[in-house]
């Protein structure tokens, strides 16, 4: 990989330009960091909304009270980053379900908002969305 410096004439990507917004939608699939199913049945404490909420709270984005988290559509399979030390273990297959997520906060916040598995590798990027 080679980093190429861009001049100030190039606009930053959506969500990375410090715009404040109350509604955020995922640009790239959100991949939950924890398994939300056990034997095909949903785990009540590990729903997609609960995991997004937990991550927002851990990152200090919200005060955990007034937030609506909604999954839009069904899952899509995406490749996630697997560390070299885990690549030979069968449990760490590189494909996981990803979701489109909409977050509605009570107060506007500025980005970037990056959540979920492999968020430092391009997944789970949220951008401001028009209010619904």
pLDDT of residue 93 exceeding 60: no
Q: SS3 string of the chain?
A: CCCCCCCCCCCCCCCCCCCEEEEEEECCCECCCCCCEECCEECHHHCHHHHHHHHHHHCCCCCCCCEEEEEEEEEEEEECCCCHHHCCCCCCCCEEEEEEEEEEEEEEEECCEECCCCHHHCCCEEEECCCC
Q: What is the pLDDT of residues 94-114, one digit of tens each?
A: 677 889 999 998 888 888 888
Region 113-123 average pLDDT: 79
Q: What is the chain's mean pLDDT, rounded? A: 78
pLDDT of residue 49 exceeding 70: yes
Domains and CATH numbers, the chain: 20-128 (3.30.70)
Model pTM score? 0.73
């Amino acid at each position: 990989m080679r980093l190429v410096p861009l001049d100030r004439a190039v606009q930053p990507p959506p969500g990375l330009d410090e715009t404040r917004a109350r509604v955020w939608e995922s640009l790239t699939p959100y991949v939950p960091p924890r398994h939300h199913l056990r034997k095909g049945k949903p785990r009540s404490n590990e729903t997609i909304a609960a995991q997004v909420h937990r991550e927002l709270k851990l990152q200090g984005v919200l005060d955990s009270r007034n937030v609506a988290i909604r999954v839009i559509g069904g899952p899509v399979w995406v490749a996630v980053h697997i560390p070299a030390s885990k690549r030979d273990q069968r449990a760490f297959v590189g494909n996981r379900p990803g979701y489109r997520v909409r977050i509605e906060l009570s107060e506007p916040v500025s980005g970037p908002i990056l959540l979920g598995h492999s968020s430092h590798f391009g997944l789970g990027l949220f951008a401001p969305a028009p209010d619904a």
